[in-house]
Amino acid sequence: MPCLTGHFYFVSLPMPETIFTYDQLFQFTNNIFKKIGCSDEHASTAARALIAADLRGIDSHGVARLSGYVRLWEAGRVNSQPDIKVIYESPSTAVVDGGSGLGLVVAPFAMQVAIEKAKHAGTGWVSVQNSNHFGIAAHHAMMALEHDMIGVAMTNASPLVAPTNSIDKMLGTNPIAVASPAGVEPPFIADLATTTAANGKLEILQRKNQSTPDGWVQDKDGHITNDPFILKKGGALLPLGSDADHGSHKGYALGAIVDIFSGLLSGANYAPWVPPFPAYVPMPAKQPGKGIGHFLGAMRIDAFRPADEYKKHMDDWLKGFRNCRPKEGEGKVLVPGDIEREFEAERMKNGIPLMDTVVNDLQETANKFSIQFT
């Protein structure tokens, strides 16, 4: 697929790949989740959440990670039949215990609780403990849209990011997603890691044997480096802003806010003690809480003003940004979510390309459970 704009240009590489339909990938993923013991409902919820990433062009977070989730289950770090429940609540809040389940299942459950709270109290805010990785944040935030609500989703993650001036890795890439409905215009859907570049972008440079731009990573002593393999050598990702002159203390603060809302409010693990995604990485020695933490929110538009007035103004807002004058040589100015929506339309129609390494990985997972891959 051709490059749509600056910030996902790494997605499209001339590498050997095979095209699959959404249905093929959904059915296969659904089957794998059932094979590890998920109920029919949980398997389809998890498959939908995972494949949403491939569909929206976030290839690093989709089926490429399926075998990783399976390995977490094999290592006993994911319970495929979790007892997911509300353990604390008020009219507009709840804490959900994810029962050590797949975040792909726990987060939609928690978002549904937030939506139900918002129906009665105007807003709903759910902090989640004892969960695992939840895929892309936008998928969960977008659940609010059909209810004429603004959706919010965040999660903490295992430590890859050094605070400004630090050589210790203390935070994950801790994303923030916000989705707002509109009237006739396509909606606003922001989903951003609070780092300059996410780990997935480093992985792509590793495959191409290329250097990172300045400002993405530092080495184990905090020095500037362009080595895309530096995380495996004690280096760290940098907070959004890259350095103090360019506001890295702001990216650090945003990642910290996500950790506080997701990990501290819920009683999950936090800071450098958030469990890792790769099952071969040992669990942190200290476990101050339970599992990984998320934070899901829903705000009913008409708890603030009539929804039709808001949507009319959002349409005006969205048109204003989409009609901005672009810099010379650049394509049109985009609103958060536009690229991903274009990917979704294109890939629903023409299929989802997977690199050979991912196809081989899925084939191995199929073999493991003696099922057919496509």
Kindly identify the residues of this chain, within the stretch 56-95, that bind its own copies according to CB under 8 A.
88-93, 95
Stretch 331-370 residues interacting with its own copies (CB under 8 A): 331, 333-336
Site for its own copies in 201-230 (CB under 8 A): 213, 215-216, 221-222
- End-to-end CA, the chain: 22
Residue 165 CB: number of other CB atoms within 10 A? 11
CB of 350 to its own copies, least distance (A): 25
Look up residue 228 and give its two tokens: 């895309």
270 by DSSP, 3-state: which? coil
CB 299 within 8 A of CB 150: yes
User: Scanning residues 20 to 49, which ones bind its own copies (CB under 8 A)?
Assistant: none
Residue written as token pair 């990990």: 263
**Nearer to its own copies (CB atom), residue 325 or residue 349:** 325
CA 164/CA 262 separation, integer angstroms: 21
In angstroms, give the least distance from the CB of 265 to its own copies. 5
Residue 348 beta carbon to its own copies: minimum distance, rounded to whole angstroms:
24
Contact region for its own copies (CB under 8 A) — 30-38, 101-109, 139-147, 157-165? Answer: 157-165
Report in angstroms how near the CB of residue 355 gets to its own copies at its nearest: 23
Q: Per CB under 8 A, which region of 38-46, 74-82, 176-184, 275-283 contacts its own copies?
A: 176-184
Report the DSSP pairing between strands 176-180 and 352-355: unpaired
Cβ distance to its own copies smaller for residue 30 or 156? 156
Structure tokens at 350: 């023409």
Whole-number Cα distances in Å, 358 to 61, 69, 175, 254: 12, 14, 24, 32
Helix axes 103-121, 40-55, angle to 10 degrees: 90
Q: Interaction with its own copies in 241-270: which residues (CB under 8 A)?
A: 241-242, 244-247, 249-254, 256-257, 259-261, 264-267, 270
Q: How many chain residues interact with its own copies (CB under 8 A)?
A: 93
x/- track of binding to its own copies for residues 181-200 (CB under 8 A): -------x-x-xxxxxx---
Residue 370 identity (one-letter amino acid):
S
Q: Which residues contact 237 (CB under 8 A, 6 or more apart)?
A: 160, 161, 162, 173, 195, 196, 197, 198, 199, 202, 216, 217, 231
With respect to its own copies, which residue has the nearer C-beta, 88 or 369?
Answer: 88
- Residues between 274 and 333 with contacts to its own copies, criterion CB under 8 A: 288-289, 299-301, 303-305, 309-310, 313-314, 316-317, 320-321, 324-328, 330-331, 333
3-state secondary structure of 185: coil
Using the minimum distance from each CB to its own copies, give the nearer residue, 77 or 220.
Answer: 220
